[in-house]
């Protein structure tokens, strides 16, 4: 037993604290998502979801959101940052930059990581097939299924994946933290905007965050293990 304990201790130490933290985040995110999915399917979260959506509207008229009129325009602009068009442009722009910077392996890994996350989001929506909320009028047009929130999940998949992978090529710790912080803020704002606009239940957004963060963390751990931090110039 002492020998086994010493071996396990050595294995944990060799992994590094960041990898252990990543594994914990991925495992925790997956656990919360699966637990939340079960509760959603059983209808256990409906009262909570409805209460939150109602609290964001005027008591006398559920078609009017709380806050000043300009806030709705701001939130609508924010929610577009999680739309397919914007996320596609961000991904293509980032991959293009990496290719031009002669970081071809990282660029292709980013591309396939984001595309894989988008495919996973679509499959989850189809598999769970939760209808959109109807407790309050929607402030923007929506046509697909509700759980997990596509905007929340795809924002997490795209921004967190890009943030985590791009942080690997930053020289300073402050720059790495800044890149990850920006990715987190964008992901959170997009998800919250979907609830304010009445097009998603809060649990839809939470599920999207958990699934997206889990995927992004897994991609980061794979990149950390297999992608070189510095790539040799090829064909400059």
pLDDT tens digits for range 189-198: 999 999 999 9
**CA nearest 57: which of 144, 163, 136?**
136
**CA nearest 195: which of 83, 43, 57?**
57
200 is catalytic: yes
pTM for the structure as a whole: 0.82
Which among 73, 138, 143, 200 is annotated as catalytic?
200
With both helix axes pointing from N to C terminus, report the angle between 17-42 and 202-226 in degrees, rounded to the nearest 10.
150
What is the per-residue pLDDT across 135-166, written as a single tens digit (0 to 9) for each? 898 888 888 888 888 899 999 989 988 887 77
What is the per-residue pLDDT across 92-134, written as a single tens digit (0 to 9) for each? 998 898 888 877 888 888 888 889 998 998 999 999 888 898 8
What is the per-residue pLDDT across 17-44, written as a single tens digit (0 to 9) for each? 666 777 787 888 888 889 999 998 988 8
Q: Which residue has the tokens 């929607």?
A: 138
143 is catalytic: no
């Amino acid at each position: 037993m002492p020998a086994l304990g010493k071996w396990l201790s050595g294995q944990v130490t060799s992994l590094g604290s960041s990898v252990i933290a990543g594994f914990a985040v991925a495992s925790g995110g997956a656990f919360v998502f699966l637990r939340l999915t079960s509760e959603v399917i059983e209808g256990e979260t409906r009262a909570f979801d409805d209460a939150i959506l109602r609290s964001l509207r005027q008591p006398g008229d559920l078609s009017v959101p709380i806050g000043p009129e300009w806030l709705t325009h701001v939130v609508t602009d924010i929610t577009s940052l999680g739309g397919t068009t914007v996320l596609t442009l961000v991904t293509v722009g980032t991959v293009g930059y990496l290719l031009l910077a002669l970081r071809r392996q990282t660029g292709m890994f980013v591309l396939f990581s984001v595309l894989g996350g988008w495919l996973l989001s679509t499959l989850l929506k189809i598999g769970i097939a939760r209808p959109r909320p109807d407790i309050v009028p929607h402030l923007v047009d929506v046509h697909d299924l509700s759980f997990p929130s596509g905007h929340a999940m795809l924002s997490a998949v795209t921004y967190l994946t890009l943030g985590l992978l791009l942080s690997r090529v930053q020289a300073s710790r402050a720059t790495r933290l800044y890149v990850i912080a920006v990715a987190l803020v964008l992901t959170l704002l997009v998800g919250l905007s979907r609830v304010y606009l009445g097009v998603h239940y809060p649990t839809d957004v939470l599920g999207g965050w958990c699934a997206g963060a889990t995927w992004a963390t897994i991609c980061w751990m794979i990149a950390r293990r297999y992608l070189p931090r510095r790539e040799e110039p090829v064909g400059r």
